[in-house]
Amino acid sequence: MSELADALAVLSGAVVGFVLGLIGGGGSILAVPLLLYGVGMESTHLAIGTSAVAVSANALMGLVGHAHSGTVKWPCAATFAGAGILGAWLGSSLGKAVDGKALLSLFAVAMIAVGVNTLLARKADGDADVAINPRIAAKLLGLGGATGIAAGFFGIGGGFLIVPGLMMGSGMAMLNAVGSSLVSVFALGAATAANYAVSGLVDWHIATLFVAGGFFGSLAGIRAAKSLAERRGLLTQVFGWIVVVAGLYVLAHSLLSG
């Protein structure tokens, strides 16, 4: 059973790495469900802490790939991430105090709401040449702080708010938001992971295997993102549907197991 759990951890990491490369911060929504229902972790809080470590590391690998492709808007990304770090620490402290099943249900409802909003918005283009200014910086600081609290509260899975937040705050194109979101996923994930690690809520063995699988998944995800971005609106729609379907699954499983 231990060998099977290890293999599932590697496979789960590859899946999350692929989705992180494909849709950025939203990819981390799958980490907690995969650790709970795939690998077989029994504690929601342990799964959140472990996923934060693994997703943060996988996001860093994906960021390198997107940076090499020139899709990262660094000033916007750094502003958003900087505001989110303190929020992530506060949010993760609150999350540890909430019952695991209730936390998972809230997480699922938030996922569904963001996914539906993304599908209904249908704003696929955005400005690929966006440059930061005082107005954009102020919006990114506010949205980054709020997103950080959510990301910490739900575990790094709350990072599915980062891509919509970057697009709303700056008006950047979807592909740029995907690449830029990985700065926040890494930073917020590290802050969340540190808080959970202090409480002993990280399985380092599983996290290491998760990261190993994520390396190969992220390479494939980045290639797929470039391909989808060339088709008008398709990447945005893929993002929305992945979030909605995953949210419905997590909510149904949480309610049925309760």
Band of pLDDT at residue 79, cut at 50, 70 and 90: very high
Q: What is the pLDDT of residue 123?
A: 55
Percent of residues, the chain, with pLDDT higher than 90: 26
Q: Is the dihedral of CA 151, 126, 222, 108 positive or negative?
A: positive
Q: What is the pLDDT of residues 228-248, one digit of tens each?
A: 767 757 777 877 887 788 788
Nearest to residue 28, comparing CAs of 16, 36, 39, 37?
16
Q: State the Cα–Cα distance between residues 52 and 87, nearest whole angstrom.
A: 15
Nearest to residue 191, comparing CAs of 145, 136, 248, 247?
145
Q: Tell me which residue has tokens 């995953």.
A: 246
Whether 107 shows a pLDDT value over 70: the answer reads yes
Domain boundaries, the chain: 2-257
Name the amino acid, one letter, at 70. G
